[in-house]
Chain A
């Protein structure tokens, strides 16, 4: 941007044109040079995951160039996908994430509508409280929750520990506050004239929500959905603390606890598992990048 200003000035004074445009060219070259360096730094681990996943275990433990594949093979992928466990983790992760997204969006869209448009006693405080909740990290809550689950088991006889569906109850605490918060922002930015027009036409509040707010705020809803999905897909602490049996694990924990046996690291399979586990968020990101980024920046800019 600084350079465009210089370029604009340069056209006005043709004498200095040469040096100015040379400066600009050099600034551009340096920008590209450093961007390439940073891109290498940022993309190195995922690329190395891919490289390792295509190697045989013999090649991984050989003292050859680690950045080159001499004998490409799909052995790791086949072995991983024919093992029951990995598919179980994947299925658990998928079910949990989809359910959490559904629960989150229902709770937060309805609540955000109530908080943004239908003021009630304490609604402003509640909006602030929702935001504060978003700032409370899960590392603070997992120990009391652990104890609470034990209490639920003693009192009601419902065993919440070591079941993947427990995560569907827990993850909304991480997703709902933020999604509600950004939905309040999106709803508040909808002009009041729109719902006043609907009101004059005799729409009920349900109709106002479904026929006006949801369609108009659809970009926000997509962004919030993506956020909810990526958070529940990536969550690591809760499943690590609350699930242990191999059939109940979700992906991140499953890869770490079952593929690492004692001190034996089967790196080919670990990298394959991690790469496949990272695939769903990456695919969503690749196709819906703009919504993804809108959701990222919404927290601070939509406030």
Chain B
């Protein structure tokens, strides 16, 4: 295959070629040109802004003067910043753990039922993932409404007093995580279901013959076989959840008293709405370490699998 394009010019072209023309006909040059739009897009709209963010973070508010680590020092001295760090970690880690557990459990239930019904159930259970998050979060906002909450209406029948879903710090933190879990666990379910289907039946038969109980089958057969998918799904989700914006923005807009702000929403509040672009850039840069760690692990997994195949 390596010489498809190298040979094809000789098929279609005569001898009279200028050197530029010859260069244009070389396979690697053509390949490079074909990838050029992608390269330009990535360089101009992703790589450059990412680097530019670092530069911006070292300027003063009016972006006229270099202040070094001034913005970071300012952030370290603010209580709100530490609250955002705490909430971002709490939000991302708790949500990913619950998404993984719920996804795993639901995938098992779907896998348990006769295969002709599986498609229908799978289709139904993936709906939260399909609806644009900003729209479904609006539905949650309405379900959580302080005075007309439909969930509180149901709870009232069980004698539970109205819950201030978005009004009190702890409940608001719970609510944003709940909505994130609601949106994200179907994705885990789909990934785990695909992985479950790829576990060879014989392994379970062998385990049954050896007298394994159901949790031994899960612990010693299912989990080891699915380890790769579980890890990669969780890491992907960690990145997306950590960098989340829509859910928090729509549901609580960071409130009450900034207690549900995560890096993305606080950077927006400070940088765009507050007009302090360098400070906003500095806030968003704090996402980089955790993203880099997760990305390293994902990449290692991907290249490892690439070399296995």
**A-side interface residues toward B, CB under 8 Å?**
1-6, 8-9, 27-28, 31-32, 34-35, 38-39, 41-46, 48-49, 52, 60-61, 65-67, 106-108, 110-111, 113-115, 117-121, 123, 126, 128-133, 135-148, 169-170, 172-173, 176-177, 180, 192, 195-196, 199, 202-205, 208, 230, 233-234, 236-237, 240-241, 251-253, 255-256, 265, 267, 270-271, 274-275, 277-278, 281-282, 285-286, 289, 292-293, 296-297, 299-301, 303
Whether B104 sits at the interface, judged by CB under 8 Å, is no
Query: Which residues from chain A contact B122 at a C-beta distance below 8 Å?
Result: 293
**A107-B194 in contact given A46-B127, A195-B4 (Cβ < 8 Å):** no
Query: Which residues from chain B contact A132 at a C-beta distance below 8 Å?
Result: 295, 299
Query: Which residues from chain A contact B139 at a C-beta distance below 8 Å?
Result: 45-46, 48-49, 271, 274
Whether A145 pairs with B49 at a CB distance below 8 angstroms is yes
Whether B182 pairs with A115 at a CB distance below 8 angstroms is no
CB distance from A166 to the nearest CB of B (A): 11
Whether B148 pairs with A300 at a CB distance below 8 angstroms is no
Whether B233 sits at the interface, judged by CB under 8 Å, is yes
**B-side interface residues toward A, CB under 8 Å?**
1-5, 7-8, 11-12, 27-32, 34-35, 37-39, 41-42, 45-50, 52-53, 56, 63, 102, 105-106, 109-113, 119, 121-136, 138-140, 142-143, 145, 148, 150, 153-154, 182, 186-187, 190-191, 194, 196, 199, 201, 204-205, 207-209, 214, 217, 229, 232-233, 236, 239-240, 242-246, 249-250, 263-264, 267-268, 271-272, 277, 280-281, 284-285, 287-288, 291, 294-295, 298-299, 301-303, 305-306
Query: Which residues from chain A contact B113 at a C-beta distance below 8 Å?
Result: 28, 31-32, 35
CB distance from A151 to the nearest CB of B (A): 10
Whether A45 pairs with B136 at a CB distance below 8 angstroms is yes
**A115-B109 in contact given A136-B291, A204-B12, A205-B4 (Cβ < 8 Å):** no
**A120-B109 in contact given A139-B263, A255-B138 (Cβ < 8 Å):** no
Q: Which of A169, A255, A274 has the most CB of B within 10 A?
A: A274
Whether A31 pairs with B112 at a CB distance below 8 angstroms is yes
Whether B272 pairs with A146 at a CB distance below 8 angstroms is yes
**A277-B135 in contact given A118-B4, A142-B268 (Cβ < 8 Å):** yes
The 4 closest A-B pairs by CB, nearest first: A137-B243, A234-B132, A139-B264, A118-B31
CB distance from A68 to the nearest CB of B (A): 11
Q: Which residue in B34, B53, B106, B125 is a CB contact (below 8 Å) of A118? A: B34
Whether A173 pairs with B264 at a CB distance below 8 angstroms is no
How far does the alpha carbon of A41 sit from the alpha carbon of B148 in the complex, in Å? 19
Q: Which of B112, B148, B249, B277 has the most CB of A within 10 A?
A: B112
CB distance from A54 to the nearest CB of B (A): 14
Query: Which residues from chain B contact A4 at a C-beta distance below 8 Å?
Result: 201
Query: Which residues from chain B contact A204 at a C-beta distance below 8 Å?
Result: 5, 8, 11-12
Query: Which residues from chain A contact B150 at a C-beta distance below 8 Å?
Result: 48, 66-67
How far does the alpha carbon of A251 sit from the alpha carbon of B133 in the complex, in Å? 12
**A1-B208 in contact given A42-B128, A107-B38 (Cβ < 8 Å):** no
Whether B37 pairs with A107 at a CB distance below 8 angstroms is yes
Query: Which residues from chain A contact B271 at a C-beta distance below 8 Å?
Result: 143, 146
Shortest Cβ distance from B302 into A: residue: A303
Q: Which residue in B39, B46, B56, B140 is a CB contact (below 8 Å) of A143? A: B56
Query: Which residues from chain B contact A202 at a C-beta distance below 8 Å?
Result: 8, 11
Query: Which residues from chain A contact B214 at a C-beta distance below 8 Å?
Result: 2
Whether B1 pairs with A117 at a CB distance below 8 angstroms is yes
Query: Which residues from chain B contact A28 at a C-beta distance below 8 Å?
Result: 112-113
How far does the alpha carbon of A176 sit from the alpha carbon of B29 in the complex, in Å? 22
Whether B201 pairs with A256 at a CB distance below 8 angstroms is no
How far does the alpha carbon of A96 sit from the alpha carbon of B113 in the complex, in Å? 41
**A234-B37 in contact given A52-B142, A136-B46, A205-B8 (Cβ < 8 Å):** no
Whether A5 pairs with B201 at a CB distance below 8 angstroms is yes
**A120-B205 in contact given A66-B153, A204-B8 (Cβ < 8 Å):** no
Whether A60 pairs with B135 at a CB distance below 8 angstroms is no
Shortest Cβ distance from A151 into B: residue: B52
Q: Which residue in B37, B105, B305 is a CB contact (below 8 Å) of A111? A: B37
